[in-house]
Every structure is written in C-alpha cells, then in structure tokens.
C-alpha cells in the first residue's frame, strides 16, 4: 500500500496539471485562441476523471480550499462562455443569451437535485438498522443511483454534454452545438430530479421514525430475546465481538446482537443471530420494555455507560481475551453485575489488582471459543515443524514490552527461517503499526524476509484440482449477500433479511471443508503470511507445533492445545522477574530479543523427552482456562441461564415492591416506575 510520502509527488503533479489547465483556459478565453482553449479544457476534464477514479482523497483537499468540483465546473463553463463572447462581434451577446440562461437553469437544477437528495437520504436514515431480521414491513427499497447521491460526480457527468457543446461551438462557431449540449444536460438533470422526487412519495419512502420504532417494539415482543451481545467500537475492533458470535449462537434461549454504530452492522462476521443497531440512546432505552434479560459485553466503550442505565437488565463483562496485561483487569469492570473469566488465574488477577471487582461477582466459564482447538498429539509427524509466530500489537500505553515485532520480530523470523525443517506461519495482530510506525515498518520487513525465504525454498506446488476454489465459492455463497457497492443501509436491510433455516450448520461444515482444502493446496514447507479473515487464528493453532508470541490472550488460548509455546521478552526485565510479573509465561520458553534460544526450543519440540515444561503447561492450562469438563460452552450457557434467572427475580421483586407502594388506581404511574422512567404527575 502506498505511503502518504509516496503519494505526495503524484498529488503535486495532479494539482499542478489542473492549475495549469485552468490558467491556460483563462488565457485562451481572454485572448481568444481556440486550439489552446480546446487543449486546456480537455486536459482539465481528463484530470477530473483521474481524480474521481484514482485520487479520490484529493477531492477533500480541494474542497477544504474552497475549490471543490462544483466551483471548478462552474469556472470551466464560465471561461468557455467568455471565450465565445470574445471570439466574435458584439451581436454575439444577444445570440448567446438564451444559451447562458439554459446553462444557469442547469445549475439551478443541480442545486435542486442536491436539496432533494438530502431529503431522500434523511427519509432513508431509519432509527434502527437490522440484519438477519425480516424488516420488510418498513417498506424497504433499493437505494437511488449513486450518481444522484454524490453532487461532485453528478455535476461532472450531467454537465459534460453542456461543456462539450460549448467547446464544440467555440471550435466550429455553430451555436446549435452548445444548444444541443445544454439541452441534454437539462434533460439529464430533470430525469435525476424526477427519480428523487418519486422516492419522496408516501408510498415509495421507507417508514418514518415513529412507525419504525413501533415496528421495533412489535418485533421485540414477537422474538422475545433473552440474552444479547452488546458491542460498540471502531472499525478495526469488530474482531472483539466476532470471537463471541459462535458461542452466543449456541446458547439456549433467543440471542440478539445489539450494536451502536451503523457501520458496525457490516463489520460483524457471518452469523444467524439477529442484529439490531440502535444508534440513539432514546432508541436503546426501548430494550427496557422488552423481554431481554442479560447483555454480554466483550469490550468497554464510552457508550457502554448508556446501556448500563437500563435497570431491568443484568450485565456481564466477558472481555475479548485474557492476558496478564492491565487491560484484562480494567477498573471499569466493576460497573457490571458480573465479570466472567476463563479460570482461577483471572479471578486472582482481579483480586490482586484491587480495582473494585468483588470476588463473588467473578464467574469462571472457561473460553467457549477454544472447544474447537485440537489437543496435543505428539511431536511433529511430517518433515516440517510448523511454527506460528503471532505477535500482538504495540498497545496504547507505549510500553516497549507489549509487542516483540519492533525489537525481536526480525531476529526471531531469521532464526526460524534459518532452520530448513521449519515452516513458519506469521500472523500479525490486525492493529500492528496503528500506534507506532516502527511496528508497521518492522512488520513489512518481516513479510519481505518470508517472501525471500520462499523464493529460495521453491518447491513443487500441489496440482490445482479446483477444490479450494469450489470450497471458497460455497463458503462465500453461504456467508455473503450480494449487495451493490452503491447500496445504502436500507437496501442492505432489505437484502440481509432472515437467514434460511440451517444456514449456521451449513457454514460450519463449509468452513471445515475450506480449511482442509486450503492447507492441502499449499506446498509442503512453504512459509505463510496469514492476514486474511480465513484461515482463523484457531485454525492456525491446529496446524502449529509451536507458538511464539507476546504477553497476550493468544498465549492463554493456545494453552488449550497443550502444545509448547514461547514468549519473547522485550520488556527489559530479567527472566525471573518477567516470569513473576506475567503468570502466563510460567510454562513458556522465554526468548531474548536476539532469538538466541530458538535452536534449543525447536529441538525440544521435536524431541518431547527434552521438553521440561509439559507438566507446567498442563497445570497452567487448568489455572488459566479451568477444567476440561464440563466444556466451556456448557459453563457459558449455565452462567447465562443463572444471570437470566437473577434478572427475572430482580424484575419480579421490583414489580411487587412498587405494586405494594402505589395505589391501584394509578397503574400508569406504577408501570412507569417499574420501567425505571419518571412517573407522570397524577
């Protein structure tokens, strides 16, 4: 991907070319010169096309300097009119007056289209966004053409006939060319305006806010959700919620996903669980009157405090992974009714941190996601030892020990690639380089090292039978809804309605088949950089004989396999202090930034009799993740049902208490207080 610095010369060239074209057009118009006028106008139009197609980022820069596409287009046409008036005698002013009037009418229509486009967009901005829900009652419909919703490209396309007509008239001295061009532009503008106005008819526009909220209440009453996953965050944080989708779908009851940001609806991975996005707090509060009992929170966000105000719900924090980092025992956790952790280690971590989370509110449920991780089955059976290097990102606190990528990543990779019997799987954290540019640069260098090693290790690729393509096609068919790139949220709601029965089971089977075909399609021993959604991290766990990582939840998750693992110590602490500070390192081989211990580590993986940490890993696995039986999914489900029961009991107690305190003749007041809302004066 090109860096901002590499884009500077291109942007400077485009800006200079556009400015030169306008200067040349101005000179050709004021000192009439038809060839120069033609060349300058065509050049400026070509540059506009380049901006729209390949340099869209520059459009906002021009807009900030008040030289947006509208200003540029008006200036271009104005200079053409000036040129026409100066090319002939004075009588041309009368001759071209109707053409100028037509041109002004076109620009007036452009403004009218933009105003109506804004109205259409507002009518299509519903107070609730859904997925996996039949919302056809909201009169959902396809979005208007993208051209009608984007004023800059619309003006350029609709105005192109007028500009071309004026330019042709300047070349041929025939006013009819300009008249035809302006007429075509007016016609296009009228057609666009008509298309948008029709969408404002009551029968064509989606339901209004009041009707949509009534539909939401009716759907909640019909579906009767019991447990929900609540999530709010940035575009790159969706993985935190996605890791809980499958455990959520397997719960007893009627699960629901509650989001707060509209863009997040499409960031959530394929699932059959109904998705509700409630951007406004007032809309969110309608959950209070629903059957929802428990909300599960995989992360903290600024908007979490808003949903915690609903008194009829119980809230639990499950986090999006467990590690020895401070973020795994954030003081915000005391705002929840319960905190669900994997095993005793996390319980001890909260007690040690003294952040206000009481021990009675901590519930050990294991890690349901890890039930699919395959257990250790002995030393590497094939010719290669597969090593998974999965470093975490640099974090927000600037601690150099957060990630090994900067100080140790290249050394570790070089040491692994130096062993001809190693096959490396490199899976960096999605946020690598988002805070510290050095981490991003080191990540790129590591990828280049792997590519260079693969060029030297070129082996025979398996014969392409088309199996992987077929499996990918089947998986995409099950998990992807074909949606136009120009579709808006309303159109997506229409297309992403209730899924077909049994789709979740079909997706699970298709995913397993794709993974098998994927690994079979790769040459034996070829190193891989894994950055796509597929294969997932846990699929890499099942292929790896050894994990090298940092202090992160990846270690805790990998322990479910019982396989050897190593942790890079870039904290600057001595090894004994490092192990004491981070209990998840207790059963790990600690590697220094120079990667000096890699050969001995690989030897222990290949010869289990030299592995002195096997017993420690089993003990640590129990300490971090809890017992193997009952399974984590079972414990997760039991915790959900117990908290649902607590929510029901709390709601019943409140209703009984208020019923006893309030006279029977004012039911509205009793009902309002039961829901936690201010009562109306009697």
Largest CA distance in the chain: 103
Report how far Cα 490 is from the mean position of its chain's Cα atoms.
19
* Closest by CA position to 646, among listed 366, 217, 227, 222: 227
What pLDDT score was predicted for residue 60? 80
CA separation for the pair 248, 369 (Å, rounded):
10
What pLDDT score was predicted for residue 7? 63
Share of the chain above pLDDT 90, in %: 63
Structure-block tokens of residue 365: 């449920």
What pLDDT score was predicted for residue 5? 40
Angle at 22 between CA 16 and CA 26, to 5 degrees: 140
What pLDDT score was predicted for residue 11? 81
CA separation for the pair 13, 21 (Å, rounded):
12
CA separation for the pair 301, 305 (Å, rounded):
8
Residue intervals in the chain for CATH 3.40.50.11720: 210-370
Confidence class of residue 91 from pLDDT cuts 50, 70 and 90? low
Residue that is written with structure tokens 């014969």 in the block: 463
Would you call 549 helix, strand, or coil by DSSP?
strand
Mean pLDDT (the chain) is: 89
One-letter-per-residue 3-state SS of 178-246: HHHHHHHHHHHHHHHHHHHHHCCCCCCCCCCHHHHHHHHHHHHHHHCCCEEEEECCCHHHCHHHHCCHH
Confidence class of residue 525 from pLDDT cuts 50, 70 and 90? confident
Structure-block tokens of residue 305: 């405090």
What pLDDT score was predicted for residue 682? 34
* Closest by CA position to 163, among listed 141, 182, 186, 145: 182
* Closest by CA position to 164, among listed 183, 137, 151: 183
What pLDDT score was predicted for residue 353? 83
Residue 559 and residue 321 in contact, taking contact as beta carbons nearer than 8 Å: no
Q: Residues with Cβ < 8 Å from 24, sequence gap 6 or more? A: 36, 39, 40, 43
Would you call 565 helix, strand, or coil by DSSP?
strand
- E strand or H helix at 580: helix 575-581
DSSP 8-state secondary structure symbol assigned to residue 372: G
Mean pLDDT of 47-72: 84
> 216-231: per-residue pLDDT in tens?
999 999 999 999 999 9
Backbone angles phi, psi at 548, to 5 degrees: -120, 125
Of the listed ranges 193-197, 328-332, 472-476, 575-579, the one predicted with least confidence: 328-332
Backbone angles phi, psi at 254, to 5 degrees: -125, 95
Structure-block tokens of residue 206: 């989606």
What pLDDT score was predicted for residue 427? 96
Residue intervals in the chain for CATH 3.40.50.2000: 385-456+487-625
What pLDDT score was predicted for residue 213? 97
Bond before 120 cis per omega within 30 degrees: no
> 436-461: per-residue pLDDT in tens?
899 999 999 999 999 999 988 866 77
What pLDDT score was predicted for residue 326? 61
The strand pairing partners of 299, in sequence order, are none
Q: What homologous superfamily does CATH list for 385-456+487-625?
A: Glycogen Phosphorylase B; (3.40.50.2000)
* Terminal-to-terminal C-alpha distance of the chain: 66
CA separation for the pair 380, 556 (Å, rounded):
22
What pLDDT score was predicted for residue 670? 46
Report whether pLDDT(89) > 70: no
Mean pLDDT of 381-406: 86
Mean pLDDT of 454-480: 85
* Closest by CA position to 352, among listed 550, 582, 572: 582
* Closest by CA position to 232, among listed 272, 196, 195, 259: 259
Report how far Cα 313 is from the mean position of its chain's Cα atoms.
27
Class of domain 210-370: alpha beta
Report whether pLDDT(676) > 50: no
Mean pLDDT of 494-511: 89
CA separation for the pair 391, 429 (Å, rounded):
6
Would you call 465 helix, strand, or coil by DSSP?
coil
Backbone angles phi, psi at 451, to 5 degrees: -60, -40
Burial environment of residue 110 by CB neighbours within 10 A (0 to 12, 13 to 18, 19 or more): buried
Structure-block tokens of residue 406: 């900067």
CA separation for the pair 270, 557 (Å, rounded):
22
* Closest by CA position to 530, among listed 540, 522, 520: 540
């Amino acid at each position: 991907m090109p860096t901002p610095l590499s884009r500077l010369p291109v942007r400077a060239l485009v800006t200079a070319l556009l400015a030169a074209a306008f200067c040349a057009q101005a000179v050709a118009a004021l000192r009439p010169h038809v060839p120069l006028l033609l060349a300058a106008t065509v050049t400026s139009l070509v540059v506009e096309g380049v901006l729209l197609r390949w340099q869209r980022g520059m459009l906002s820069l021009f807009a900030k300097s008040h030289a947006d596409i509208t200003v540029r287009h008006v200036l271009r046409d104005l200079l053409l009119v000036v040129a026409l008036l100066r090319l002939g005698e004075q009588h041309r002013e009368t001759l071209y007056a109707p053409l100028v009037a037509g041109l002004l009418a076109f620009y007036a229509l452009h403004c009218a289209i933009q105003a109506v486009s804004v109205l259409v967009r507002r009518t299509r901005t519903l107070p609730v966004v859904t997925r996996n829900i039949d919302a056809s009652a909201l009169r959902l419909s396809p979005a208007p053409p993208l051209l009608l919703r984007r004023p800059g490209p619309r003006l350029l396309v609709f105005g192109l006939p007028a500009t071309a007509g004026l330019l042709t008239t300047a070349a041929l001295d025939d006013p009819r060319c300009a008249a035809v061009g302006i007429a075509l532009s007016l016609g296009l503008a009228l057609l666009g305006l008509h298309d948008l106005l029709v969408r404002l008819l009551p029968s064509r526009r989606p339901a209004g806010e009041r009707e949509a909220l009534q539909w939401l209440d009716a759907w909640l009453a019909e579906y009767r959700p019991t447990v929900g996953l609540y999530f709010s965050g940035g575009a790159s944080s969706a993985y935190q919620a996605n890791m809980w989708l499958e455990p959520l779908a397997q719960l007893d009851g009627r699960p629901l996903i509650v989001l707060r940001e509209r863009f997040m609806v499409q960031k959530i991975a394929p699932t059959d669980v109904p998705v509700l996005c409630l951007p406004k707090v007032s809309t969110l509060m309608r959950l209070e009157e629903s059957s929802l009992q428990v909300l599960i929170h995989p992360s903290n966000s600024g908007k979490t405090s808003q949903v915690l105000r609903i008194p009829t719900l119980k809230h639990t924090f499950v986090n999006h992974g467990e590690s020895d980092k401070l973020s795994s025992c954030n003081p915000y956790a005391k705002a929840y009714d319960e905190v669900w952790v994997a095993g005793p280690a996390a319980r001890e971590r909260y007690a040690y941190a003294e952040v206000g989370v009481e021990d009675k509110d901590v519930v050990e449920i294991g890690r349901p996601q890890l039930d699919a991780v395959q257990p250790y089955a002995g030393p590497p059976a094939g010719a290669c030892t597969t090593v998974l290097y999965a470093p975490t990102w640099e974090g927000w606190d600037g601690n150099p020990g957060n990630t090994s990528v900067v100080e140790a990543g290249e050394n570790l990779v070089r040491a692994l690639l130096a062993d001809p019997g190693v096959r490396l799987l490199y899976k960096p954290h999605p946020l690598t380089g988002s805070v510290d540019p050095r981490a991003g640069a080191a990540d790129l260098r590591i990828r280049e090292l792997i590519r260079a090693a693969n060029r030297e290790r070129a082996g025979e690729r398996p014969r392409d039978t088309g199996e992987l393509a077929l499996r990918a096609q089947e998986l995409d068919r099950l998990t992807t809804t074909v949606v136009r790139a120009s579709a808006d949220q309303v159109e997506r709601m229409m297309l992403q309605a209730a899924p077909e029965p049994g789709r979740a089971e079909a997706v699970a089977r298709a995913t397993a088949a794709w993974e098998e075909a994927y690994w079979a399609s790769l040459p034996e021993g070829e190193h891989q950089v894994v950055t796509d959604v597929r294969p997932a991290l846990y699929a890499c766990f099942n292929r790896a004989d050894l994990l090298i990582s940092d202090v992160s939840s990846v270690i805790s998750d990998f322990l479910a396999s019982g396989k050897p693992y190593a942790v890079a110590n870039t904290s600057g602490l001595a090894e004994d202090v490092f192990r004491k500070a981070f209990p998840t390192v207790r059963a790990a081989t600690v590697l220094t930034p120079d990667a000096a211990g890699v050969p001995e580590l690989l030897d222990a993986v290949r010869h289990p009799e030299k592995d002195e940490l096997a017993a420690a890993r089993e003990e640590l696995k129990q300490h971090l993740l809890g017992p193997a039986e009952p399974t984590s999914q079972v414990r997760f489900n039991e915790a959900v049902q117990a908290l649902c029961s607590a929510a029901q009991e709390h709601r019943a107690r409140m209703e009984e208490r208020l019923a006893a305190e309030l006279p029977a003749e004012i039911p509205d007041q009793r009902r309002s207080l039961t829901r936690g809302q201010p009562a109306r004066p009697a």
